[in-house]
Structure 1
């Protein structure tokens, strides 16, 4: 046919990767000893969403011979804990489950968070002051005396609490 132009349109039938929101409050936060794991593409994809704090209070304690931060699953006690929300793919979620020894040491559960700020601009970025639900790694497995320890609203590996995180050479970068 003269003058007829056939256009080919290719439509993607592959859905966007499913992403899951995860709240980190300890060594996986930016500028902390294990943050590099969140940014290692070999572990999967993680994208910063926002700074936030828990809606409910939880005891965030520093315990064990490694001075590890533990969020104890005792809602209503402790502090409103500050941290970071990341959107992660399935591969990263599986990595985090393994890294956090889930479900034996930590358990992954949904909690509500109050958003403080984020990079802004994205249609999927929550607004400051809004509430979002995300997974957190907290524990039901702890020594009873941990409930007597000081609780923190923020964790810093080398903070003024004096309980510096002990990073093993074989698992942390130099």
Structure 2
């Protein structure tokens, strides 16, 4: 008896889904699917990572070459989790899932049948970025490493707290 083939997709998270952030727990709720932490990484190109809107949501604006190299985490997710993340990120209205090149900082995840990427190597994953934003967003302060509890003073409003 053969087991069903499960497709796993790499996703790069840079905001509230990272370790220690308000929505991190969603990555490991079994009802959402499966996720496995693979590596810490940063984008190979600079992007503006801003905190915007009335809920102080982190947005990575799809404007390559501006801002900073953005730090985050790579996860391997199954199709169910990918569907959950697409819904959670309001794809395609608020965010779009786009492929991105990343520089590995530290790889801790298992690699099956492939070589473990070394620190400094380049890999690819999907990223949730936005091309739809307010005209003033590109002029907002940019961050290289989002922290909902950082000294920026912009408190993230969770979905449960929104009106």
TM-score category by the smaller chain?
A: over 0.9
> What is the CA–CA distance in structure 1 between the aligned matches of 2:2 and 2:22, rounded to whole Å?
40
> What is the CA–CA distance in structure 2 between the aligned matches of 1:18 and 1:70, rounded to whole Å?
27
> What is the CA–CA distance in structure 2 between the aligned matches of 1:46 and 1:29, rounded to whole Å?
12
Structure 1 segment 17-166 matched on structure 2, within 5 A: 17-119=6-108, 122-123=111-112, 124=114, 125-166=116-157
Q: TM-score, normalised by structure 1?
A: 0.87
Q: Secondary structure at the match of 2:147?
A: coil
> What is the CA–CA distance in structure 1 between the aligned matches of 2:122 and 2:32, rounded to whole Å?
28
Aligned residue pair count: 160
Mark the runs of 5 or more structure 2 residues left unpaired by the alignment.
none
Kept in 1, the 8 Å contact 2:36–2:109? The answer is no
Q: TM-score, normalised by structure 2?
A: 0.92
Aligned residues: CA RMSD: 1.6
Deviation at 1:18, TM superposition (A): 1.2
The structure with the largest strand share of the pair is 2
Deviation at 1:167, TM superposition (A): 1.8
